[in-house]
Structure 1
Amino acid sequence: MNRKIRRILFISIGFNLLFIIVTGFTFVKLDKVDAGVKKTNAVNRAGFHYYERTSLFDELSIPPNFIVFLGDSLTFRTEWAELFPGKNVINRGIGGDTTEGVLDRLDSVIAAQPKQIFLLIGVNDLRSHSVSATLENYSLIIDRIQSGAPKTEIFIQSLLPVNNKKYGKILTNYKIKKMNEGLRYLAENTGVHYIDLYSIFAENDQLPEEYTIDGIHLTGKGYILWRETIKKYVD
């Protein structure tokens, strides 16, 4: 092999090696960018709390046939395992979460094929979105659960009232009741259960002060009332 051919061969090999190195670096960088985008989107939607909780859920798989409580801060802020001792219950609530957030993290719940799902979500949506837009996302949640986990028993829990004296006028109970009407209709048309928490909690269309400090989140008495309302369904 003469020098000219060897020189061409070495140059060709060098370019190929360079291409492989650059391509590999690019893929690694893109993976990091994609992960960063997912993290940024999660943080932008509901703050670092959402990302912290979902990253924890990624590490802690749900055992099969467990009962999942899925929702926002109302679900997150209590100890379901202590409220229902002897039951295989697990908390998948995230403070500040929305229907969009639940849709984004629903795959891990469906993968577990839970025995039951108790869903309470939507109040955070209503502060900035319409009832119809929120119900559209809610419908997608139900459809995905029924398609991916057909044996899972689904319970739609109505939104609770707020106390406008404490919480302000950012959200009215009129809008919450319209949402609940839509949830009841959705439950009837998809064959899932509907639990009317609103009527249990409301006094004069307000969340009583004995059940809340800030007008939207519950005190211990509020969670006991919630438990007593749904305990006949938790199996």
Structure 2
Amino acid sequence: MNRMGEKPKFAFLGNSHMAFWALDVYFPSWECLNYGAPGEGLVYVESFTVDTSDCQVVIQFGTNDIYQLNDENMDDYVERYVKAVLAIPSLKTYLFCIFPRNDYDDYSTAVNQFIRVLNRKIYEKLQGTDIVYLDVFDRLLLDGRLNPELTLDDLHLNGKGYSILSEALKRASGL
């Protein structure tokens, strides 16, 4: 509760990781608005027009954009990514890293090595801003891949996965 007895207001924005988060279960004392959209990425965040200026905003996206990226266009993507995050109106913004994913039957970790580099570049670009960066990447990994014990289907998080996110957000927000 804030000093007027109202619940703190949070808006969640991003892809399926946001859309499928049972916010009422993990944050029962918060007013939560969910603008997560499965399958979405940077273009969705860039075109987001809801006025969230009276909210603390939680953002997570990027995994759906991975296959459009390579070493040549990564820096341009990072520029657009950070610009899109900074454009979302908020009382305070929390940005989760891009999460690892498991996409290869041969148990390759290449995609997650690429995401790690991408996350580092985003983090570096955010320096000097007021964005609170929540890096849970390593906590979601097991042997270089998204830990299957934290997922429903090797991509979408289960309750254990969301507990990691919830704990990180609660700690960062002080609520």
Q: What is the TM-score normalised by the length of structure 2? A: 0.82
What is residue 172 of structure 1 aligned with on the other side?
A: 111
* Runs of 4+, deviation exceeding 2 Å: 129-134, 163-171
Identity percentage of aligned residues:
23
User: Alpha-carbon deviations, 1:138-164, whole Å to 9, x = none?
Assistant: 12213323xxx3x62111111122234
1:95: Cα distance to partner?
0.2
What is residue 137 of structure 1 aligned with on the other side?
A: 80
Q: 1-side partners of 2:20 and 2:162: how far apart? A: 9
Tell me the secondary structure at the aligned position of residue 197 of structure 1.
coil
Q: 2-side partners of 1:209 and 1:165: how far apart? A: 13
User: Alpha-carbon deviations, 1:37-79, whole Å to 9, x = none?
Assistant: xxxxxxxxxxxxxxxxxxxxxxxxxxxx721111101111121
Q: State which of 192, 195, 200 in structure 1 corresponds to 2:134.
A: 195
Tell me the secondary structure at the aligned position of residue 81 of structure 1.
helix
Structure number having the greater strand percentage: 2
What is residue 66 of structure 2 aligned with on the other side?
A: 126
Q: 1-side partners of 2:11 and 2:125: how far apart? A: 20
Q: State which of 86, 89, 92 in structure 1 corresponds to 2:29.
A: 86
- Number of corresponding residues: 164
What is residue 222 of structure 1 aligned with on the other side?
A: 161
Sort the Cα spacing of 1:202 and 1:170 in 2 relative to 1 into closer, same or farther, 3 A. closer
User: Alpha-carbon deviations, 1:90-110, whole Å to 9, x = none?
Assistant: 1110000011111112x21xx
Is the 2:109–2:145 contact (alpha carbons within 8 Å) kept by the matching residues of 1? no
Sort the Cα spacing of 1:208 and 1:221 in 2 relative to 1 into closer, same or farther, 3 A. same
Tell me the secondary structure at the aligned position of residue 74 of structure 1.
helix
Q: 2-side partners of 1:202 and 1:170: how far apart? A: 10
Is the 2:97–2:119 contact (alpha carbons within 8 Å) kept by the matching residues of 1? yes
User: Alpha-carbon deviations, 1:15-49, whole Å to 9, x = none?
Assistant: xxxxxxxxxxxxxxxxxxxxxxxxxxxxxxxxxxx
1:135: Cα distance to partner?
1.3
Sort the Cα spacing of 1:191 and 1:112 in 2 relative to 1 into closer, same or farther, 3 A. closer
Q: CA RMSD for the aligned pairs?
A: 2.3
Structure number having the greater helix percentage: 1
Q: 1-side partners of 2:106 and 2:133: how far apart? A: 26
Mark the runs of 5 or more structure 1 residues left unpaired by the alignment: 1-64
Is the 1:100–1:137 contact (alpha carbons within 8 Å) kept by the matching residues of 2? no
What is residue 71 of structure 1 aligned with on the other side?
A: 14
